Amino acid sequence: MAKSKETKTNAMRMLETKKIPFTTHTYECDEFIDGIQIADMLSLPHEKVYKTLVTQGNSKNYYVFVIPIAEELDMKKAAKSVGEKSVAMLHVKDINAVTGYIRGGCTAIGMKKQYITRIEEAAKNLEQIIVSGGKLGTQLELTPDDLCKASNAEYADIIVK
């Protein structure tokens, strides 16, 4: 990596500690923009860019789901994949308190606590996956299996089809 004033995020530090290779993509961003706009800004194929969603189950436990940016989380499949009757999206105002990240910078790697995490099974077919890097303006590219390893995740069928 070139020497710059880039500040490392928890996600980057965790990947380096685990000796997991990754590439950083950066872009100018002062506020939340959705994953599709980010992919377009960086000329990245939409099918490789994934978003991180945080939910809460009936049990009050939190769960993390990583799905393609253009897809929708199937709440029933998501709940079933983590053994809950149902899950609901975490309110935006609670994201930082639960994960340590802000909306638009949330990633499954290096959250405040390790939550049960599921990555959409279609990711298994990709050579590389791109996810938020832990702050606005930063994306990380790594293999899906390395993302699984870094976030202690499992693959599951969790999107609306």
What CATH number was assigned to the domain covering residues 18-156?
3.90.960.10
Confidence of residue 1 (pLDDT cuts 50, 70, 90): very low
Tokens 């930082």 sit at which residue? 96
pLDDT above 90: percentage of residues in the chain = 80
45-63 residue pLDDT tens: 999 999 999 999 999 999 9
- Distance separating alpha carbons of residues 41 and 123, to the nearest angstrom: 22
Q: CA 156, CA 83: separation in Å to the nearest integer?
A: 12
Give residue 2's pLDDT band: very low, low, confident or very high (50, 70, 90).
very low
* Residues paired with 52 in a beta bridge: 66
Across the chain, the runs of DSSP E, i.e. the strands, are: 23-26, 50-57, 62-68, 87-89, 116-120, 129-132, 138-142, 154-156
pTM (2 d.p.): 0.93
